[in-house]
Amino acid sequence: MMNDRNQKLRISAVSYTNTKPFIYGLEHSGILNKVELSRDIPADCAQKLIDNQVDIGLIPVAALLRLSYYEIVADYCIGATGAVNSVFVFSDIPVEDIKTIRLDPQSRTSNNLARILMKKHWKIDPVVLNEGEADAQVLIGDRTFGRKDEFNYVYDLAEEWQKLTGLPFVFAVWAANKPIDEAIKAELNAALAYGIEHRPELLKTIEKRSDFDIDYYLMHSIDFVFDEKKHEALNLYLEYLKEIDHSLVPEFSI
């Protein structure tokens, strides 16, 4: 276990821009000496925690349902209050006309959020595809930056969730698959807090783009604090997900 003196704590964190403040915090604290850090796409963060290849992961919240034991070990998350601006359903036809939709293989939370919204918010029942041509596609992360203008219809899934529930949304949390020492948790939280506080310094090191405002994204669109409202949102999302879980496409089952 991780309390063994010789064994480093294994952490997997999302490899997208939205996680850079957390990485900055980890890198500017002493904790990295005690940690083996890997950066992975969200689906792999989840799988590594499920397979016990890591002890802690910044994992898509949908994957919490696949862990026989978990604890949320930090007061920070990848969340949003209203539009997140990096999780979309892109389509050239209005949502009520969508007959086929393609999911994003890198995602676990947003694919399932799209399914919840289709059922409860848009009240549509399209065929869900893993690949190939479709009327609409779910796309997350940096690959969405600057792409909004390419489509006639752009649905921001955190914004649509807020319309449905009145709540913020939580995409990913810091979760462990085994009990974690309180002192380590405190150290991790302090490192993450440092990163969030020092976003302005971090932003000076990130290359600007003309088609996407990274400063606004990291200062305002992503909401990193895992507070009570987000906890409520997480519980509601997991409840909805359990309702639709039986109908998941096997390849994308979380």
Residues that bind ligand ISJ (CB under 6 A): 14, 16, 18, 42, 60, 78, 84, 86-87, 107-110, 140-141, 171-172
- Please say which residue, 142 or 181, places its beta carbon nearer to ligand ISJ: 142
Q: Give the three-state DSSP class for 103.
A: coil
Q: Which is nearer to ligand ISJ, 177 or 221 (CB)?
A: 221
Residue 108 CB, nearest approach to ligand ISJ (Å): 4
AA identity, residue 54: V
Largest CA distance in the chain: 58
Buried b (16+ CB within 10 A) or exposed e, 219-253: eebbbbebeebbeebbebbbebbeeeeeebeeebe
Minimum CB distance to ligand ISJ, residue 142 (Å): 8
- Contact by Cβ (8 Å): 227, 163: no
Q: Which is nearer to ligand ISJ, 8 or 227 (CB)?
A: 227
- As a residue count, the chain comes to 254
Please return the burial class of 61, using the count of CB atoms within 10 Å of its CB with bins 0-12, 13-18 and 19+: buried
Tell me the closest approach of the beta carbon of residue 158 to ligand ISJ, in angstroms.
Answer: 7
Query: Which CB atom, from 21 or from 60, has the smaller least distance to ligand ISJ?
Result: 60
State the Cα torsion 129-131-132-135 to the nearest 10°.
40
Least gap, CB of 33 to ligand ISJ (angstroms): 26
Question: What is the Cα–Cα distance from 230 to 49, expressed in whole angstroms?
Answer: 22
Which residues pair with residue 79 across a beta bridge? 170, 223
Q: Provide, rounded to whole angstroms, the least separation between the CB of residue 129 and ligand ISJ.
A: 17
Which lies closer to ligand ISJ via its Cβ, residue 86 or residue 91? Answer: 86
Q: What six digits make up the tokens of 41?
A: 């796409």
Q: CA-based angle 221:146:22, to the nearest 5?
A: 40
Quick one: 22 or 122, whose CB is closer to ligand ISJ? 22
Nearer to ligand ISJ, 18 or 177 (CB): 18
Tell the smallest beta-carbon distance from residue 55 to ligand ISJ (Å). 18
For the beta carbon of residue 184, count every other beta carbon within 10 angstroms.
Answer: 19
Min dist. Cβ of residue 143 to ligand ISJ (A): 9
